[in-house]
Amino acid sequence: MENENNNLKRDCYVLELSVQPGGARWAELHTYTLKENILSIFRDFVENNEMAVFFTVQCEATLKIWVVRNGEVDDDVNLVSYLRIQTEDNGEFDADDPDLYDLLEDTDTAADASKIRVDWTELTKDIPELNPENRFKPGEEMTLTDTGTGFNSYLDESIILKIGSYEVESVGDFTPNVELVTKDDYQ
Protein backbone atom coordinates (compact mmCIF):
# COMPACT_ATOMS: atom_id res chain seq x y z
CA MET A 1 0.00 0.00 0.00
CA GLU A 2 1.46 3.34 -1.04
CA ASN A 3 1.98 5.88 1.71
CA GLU A 4 -0.48 8.75 1.34
CA ASN A 5 2.29 11.25 2.16
CA ASN A 6 4.18 10.35 -1.03
CA ASN A 7 2.08 12.94 -2.88
CA LEU A 8 3.41 15.80 -0.73
CA LYS A 9 5.09 18.70 -2.53
CA ARG A 10 7.39 20.12 0.14
CA ASP A 11 10.67 22.07 0.20
CA CYS A 12 13.94 20.60 1.50
CA TYR A 13 17.64 20.21 0.86
CA VAL A 14 19.10 16.85 -0.12
CA LEU A 15 22.85 16.60 0.41
CA GLU A 16 24.21 13.88 -1.84
CA LEU A 17 27.62 12.40 -1.12
CA SER A 18 28.13 9.54 -3.56
CA VAL A 19 30.37 7.64 -5.93
CA GLN A 20 28.84 5.68 -8.79
CA PRO A 21 29.67 1.96 -9.06
CA GLY A 22 33.13 1.31 -10.38
CA GLY A 23 36.24 1.85 -8.27
CA ALA A 24 34.17 2.59 -5.18
CA ARG A 25 30.52 2.34 -4.23
CA TRP A 26 29.04 4.74 -1.73
CA ALA A 27 25.86 6.82 -1.64
CA GLU A 28 24.51 8.96 1.18
CA LEU A 29 21.41 11.15 0.88
CA HIS A 30 20.83 13.59 3.75
CA THR A 31 17.41 15.28 3.68
CA TYR A 32 16.93 18.30 5.93
CA THR A 33 15.32 21.75 5.80
CA LEU A 34 17.93 23.71 7.73
CA LYS A 35 21.17 24.81 6.07
CA GLU A 36 23.02 24.32 9.34
CA ASN A 37 22.39 20.56 9.29
CA ILE A 38 23.39 20.13 5.66
CA LEU A 39 26.58 22.14 6.21
CA SER A 40 27.44 20.25 9.42
CA ILE A 41 27.21 16.90 7.65
CA PHE A 42 29.30 18.17 4.73
CA ARG A 43 31.86 19.66 7.14
CA ASP A 44 32.13 16.28 8.88
CA PHE A 45 32.77 14.62 5.50
CA VAL A 46 35.58 16.98 4.46
CA GLU A 47 37.21 17.24 7.88
CA ASN A 48 36.85 13.71 9.28
CA ASN A 49 36.69 11.33 6.35
CA GLU A 50 40.12 10.00 5.47
CA MET A 51 38.77 9.06 2.03
CA ALA A 52 37.39 12.54 1.23
CA VAL A 53 40.21 13.55 -1.14
CA PHE A 54 40.21 10.14 -2.83
CA PHE A 55 36.43 10.15 -3.34
CA THR A 56 36.36 13.80 -4.46
CA VAL A 57 39.26 13.79 -6.91
CA GLN A 58 40.00 10.26 -8.02
CA CYS A 59 36.46 8.85 -7.95
CA GLU A 60 34.80 12.10 -9.13
CA ALA A 61 32.24 11.91 -6.35
CA THR A 62 28.88 13.60 -6.63
CA LEU A 63 28.95 16.22 -3.86
CA LYS A 64 25.80 18.30 -4.26
CA ILE A 65 23.07 20.01 -2.40
CA TRP A 66 19.86 19.43 -4.32
CA VAL A 67 17.30 22.15 -3.61
CA VAL A 68 13.80 20.69 -3.66
CA ARG A 69 10.88 23.10 -4.00
CA ASN A 70 7.29 21.94 -4.23
CA GLY A 71 8.42 18.34 -4.53
CA GLU A 72 10.76 18.85 -7.50
CA VAL A 73 14.49 19.44 -7.78
CA ASP A 74 14.59 23.14 -8.57
CA ASP A 75 18.28 23.98 -8.14
CA ASP A 76 21.58 22.52 -7.04
CA VAL A 77 24.83 23.63 -5.49
CA ASN A 78 27.88 21.76 -6.79
CA LEU A 79 30.03 21.49 -3.67
CA VAL A 80 33.18 20.53 -5.59
CA SER A 81 33.42 24.10 -6.90
CA TYR A 82 33.94 25.33 -3.29
CA LEU A 83 36.79 22.92 -2.56
CA ARG A 84 40.55 23.41 -2.75
CA ILE A 85 42.94 20.53 -2.19
CA GLN A 86 46.19 21.30 -0.40
CA THR A 87 48.81 18.73 -1.36
CA GLU A 88 51.81 17.96 0.78
CA ASP A 89 54.46 18.95 -1.79
CA ASN A 90 52.78 20.55 -4.80
CA GLY A 91 50.66 23.43 -3.53
CA GLU A 92 46.93 23.99 -3.70
CA PHE A 93 44.52 23.07 -6.49
CA ASP A 94 40.83 23.44 -7.29
CA ALA A 95 39.26 20.06 -6.54
CA ASP A 96 38.20 19.59 -10.17
CA ASP A 97 41.61 20.55 -11.65
CA PRO A 98 42.73 17.74 -14.03
CA ASP A 99 46.37 18.34 -13.01
CA LEU A 100 45.43 17.39 -9.45
CA TYR A 101 43.87 14.12 -10.62
CA ASP A 102 47.06 13.25 -12.50
CA LEU A 103 49.25 14.26 -9.56
CA LEU A 104 47.32 12.15 -7.06
CA GLU A 105 47.12 9.20 -9.43
CA ASP A 106 50.91 9.19 -9.81
CA THR A 107 51.59 8.56 -6.13
CA ASP A 108 50.12 6.04 -3.72
CA THR A 109 50.03 8.30 -0.69
CA ALA A 110 49.34 11.73 -2.22
CA ALA A 111 45.60 11.63 -1.49
CA ASP A 112 46.26 10.54 2.09
CA ALA A 113 48.63 13.47 2.66
CA SER A 114 46.28 16.05 1.10
CA LYS A 115 43.78 18.24 2.92
CA ILE A 116 40.53 19.81 1.75
CA ARG A 117 39.86 23.50 2.28
CA VAL A 118 36.31 24.82 1.85
CA ASP A 119 35.15 28.37 1.20
CA TRP A 120 32.43 28.15 3.87
CA THR A 121 31.43 31.82 3.59
CA GLU A 122 30.70 31.66 -0.15
CA LEU A 123 29.09 28.25 0.11
CA THR A 124 26.71 29.32 2.87
CA LYS A 125 25.78 32.45 0.93
CA ASP A 126 25.13 30.50 -2.30
CA ILE A 127 22.68 27.96 -0.85
CA PRO A 128 19.19 29.19 -1.81
CA GLU A 129 16.64 29.73 0.93
CA LEU A 130 13.59 27.48 1.24
CA ASN A 131 10.03 28.68 1.66
CA PRO A 132 9.54 28.45 5.44
CA GLU A 133 5.79 27.88 4.96
CA ASN A 134 6.36 24.77 2.83
CA ARG A 135 9.23 23.02 4.65
CA PHE A 136 9.30 19.25 4.78
CA LYS A 137 8.44 18.07 8.31
CA PRO A 138 9.76 15.15 10.35
CA GLY A 139 7.45 12.15 9.92
CA GLU A 140 6.41 13.08 6.38
CA GLU A 141 7.47 11.13 3.30
CA MET A 142 7.77 12.40 -0.24
CA THR A 143 8.77 11.05 -3.64
CA LEU A 144 10.02 13.43 -6.28
CA THR A 145 8.18 13.59 -9.59
CA ASP A 146 11.07 14.62 -11.82
CA THR A 147 14.53 14.94 -10.36
CA GLY A 148 16.49 16.01 -13.43
CA THR A 149 19.60 15.06 -11.45
CA GLY A 150 21.28 13.11 -14.25
CA PHE A 151 23.41 10.03 -14.59
CA ASN A 152 25.81 10.62 -11.68
CA SER A 153 23.16 10.90 -8.99
CA TYR A 154 21.45 8.39 -6.76
CA LEU A 155 18.56 10.81 -6.18
CA ASP A 156 15.76 9.67 -8.44
CA GLU A 157 12.03 9.06 -8.47
CA SER A 158 12.40 5.68 -6.71
CA ILE A 159 13.76 7.22 -3.50
CA ILE A 160 11.25 7.95 -0.75
CA LEU A 161 12.53 11.03 1.03
CA LYS A 162 12.06 11.67 4.73
CA ILE A 163 13.90 13.91 7.15
CA GLY A 164 17.13 12.17 8.04
CA SER A 165 20.09 10.39 6.49
CA TYR A 166 19.91 7.37 4.21
CA GLU A 167 22.63 5.11 2.78
CA VAL A 168 21.40 4.00 -0.64
CA GLU A 169 23.90 1.20 -1.29
CA SER A 170 23.34 -0.54 2.05
CA VAL A 171 19.66 0.48 2.03
CA GLY A 172 19.24 1.94 5.46
CA ASP A 173 18.74 4.97 7.61
CA PHE A 174 21.64 6.09 9.78
CA THR A 175 22.51 8.87 12.18
CA PRO A 176 25.24 11.25 11.00
CA ASN A 177 28.19 11.93 13.33
CA VAL A 178 27.15 15.53 13.94
CA GLU A 179 24.86 17.32 16.32
CA LEU A 180 21.75 18.26 14.37
CA VAL A 181 19.93 21.52 14.95
CA THR A 182 16.16 21.64 15.47
CA LYS A 183 14.25 24.91 15.12
CA ASP A 184 10.48 25.08 15.53
CA ASP A 185 10.26 21.28 15.06
CA TYR A 186 12.24 21.44 11.79
CA GLN A 187 15.58 19.90 11.04
Kindly report, residue by residue over 149-160, the tens digit of the pLDDT.
776 888 888 888
Asked, for residue 179, whether it belongs to a domain, the answer is no
Asked, for residue 181, whether it belongs to a domain, the answer is no
Question: Is it the case that residue 108 has pLDDT exceeding 60?
Answer: no
Asked, for residue 184, whether it belongs to a domain, the answer is no
Asked, for residue 51, whether it belongs to a domain, the answer is yes
Per-residue buried b or exposed e for 66-85, using 16+ beta carbons within 10 Å of the residue's own CB: bbbbebebeebbebeebbbb
Q: Return the higher-pLDDT residue of 75 and 171.
A: 75
Total domain count, the chain: 1
* C-alpha dihedral sign at 36, 174, 80, 114: positive
pLDDT score of 4: 52
Is the pTM higher than 0.85?
Answer: yes
Confidence at 98, pLDDT banded by 50, 70, 90: confident
* CA–CA distance, 162 with 56 (Å, rounded to integer): 26
- For the chain, give the mean pLDDT: 85
Q: Structural domain of residue 130, as residue ranges?
A: 4-174
* CA–CA distance, 184 with 66 (Å, rounded to integer): 23
Question: Is it the case that residue 118 has pLDDT exceeding 80?
Answer: yes
Which value, to the nearest 10 degrees, does the dihedral of the CA atoms of residues 73, 79, 80, 85 take? -170
Determine the length of the chain: 187
Asked, for residue 152, whether it belongs to a domain, the answer is yes
Question: Is it the case that residue 32 has pLDDT exceeding 90?
Answer: yes
Question: Is it the case that residue 60 has pLDDT exceeding 60?
Answer: yes
Asked, for residue 97, whether it belongs to a domain, the answer is yes
Asked, for residue 78, whether it belongs to a domain, the answer is yes
* 78-97 pLDDT per residue, tens: 999 999 988 877 788 888 88
Confidence at 101, pLDDT banded by 50, 70, 90: confident
Asked, for residue 73, whether it belongs to a domain, the answer is yes
Q: Which residues pair with 94 in a beta bridge?
A: 84
Question: Is it the case that residue 40 has pLDDT exceeding 90?
Answer: yes
